[in-house]
Amino acid sequence: MRDKILEATAAMLVAHGTQAPMSKIAQRAGVATGSLYNHFENKDVLIRAVYEQLGQALERALVGGDDPSLSAQERLVLYIENHIDFIWADADRAVLFEYLSNVPLLPGSEVLESFQGPIDFIAQLLQDLQAEGWAVAGEACVISSFIGGAIRNTLKWERTFGRPLSEETRDQLREMCLRGARAPQPA
């Protein structure tokens, strides 16, 4: 029941923002309003749970898909591939992610807490690549935001134009992310 409520809340956030009343969320989830309140005392708690669920899903996809036996460069490629898969696999989740990125409904510290696992993972990976001289110098959070934003925005437009995710587009997106993260190479 909790998952049905969170799924309904996510859909209502995308469709109506925070204006959707709890009764409409309960109706969409197919539960009584009282049952909704048994799981979540108010809308703020419910919205926090949506962030947490999205953060957990992202962590499973990006961190859970990691293979520590690979080199740092190979792990970055895998991270980018997993990120592309995560955003492309579920159009509704991609819209929710975009909405929550553009219209934060929680204080920044709480948003960061929900996504701490993936944030820490990519920061460490990029720092390792910087130490090897492979990655561009600078803040790891800026580099990782560039990669994530490039993936989300590109795939949003592919969907908008009604195009499937082709292998050529996937390869181009991956290579552009890698080039954006890579330190300048001597001529």
Q: What is the pLDDT of residues 31-54, one digit of tens each?
A: 998 888 999 998 888 988 998 999
Please tell me the distance from the alpha carbon of residue 96 to that of residue 91, in angstroms, as a whole number: 9
Confirm whether 31 is domain-assigned: no
Does residue 47 form part of some domain?
A: no
Q: Are 65 and 49 in contact (CB under 8 A)?
A: no
Q: Looking at the domain assignment, is residue 187 inside a domain?
A: no
Domain presence at residue 160: yes
Tokens representing 61 are 């996809």
Output phi, psi for 42, to 5 deg: -160, 180
User: Is 57 a domain residue?
Assistant: no
Tokens of 55: 């953060």
CB atoms within 10 A of CB 16: 12
pLDDT tens digits for range 21-30: 899 999 999 9
Could you tell me if residue 17 is inside a domain? no
In a domain, 55, yes or no: no
Instruction: Measure the CA–CA gap between 98 and 152, rounded to whole angstroms.
Output: 7
> What residue numbers bound the domain in which 138 lies?
66-181
- Residue 176: give its domain's CATH number: 1.10.357.10
Residues with Cβ within 8 Å of 23's Cβ and at least 6 positions away in sequence, in order, are 33
The 8-class DSSP code of residue 19 comes to: G
Residue 43 lies in a domain: no
Number of domains observed in the structure of the chain: 1
pLDDT band at 19, cuts 50/70/90? confident
Q: Is the pLDDT of residue 104 over 90?
A: no
pLDDT at 97 over 80: yes
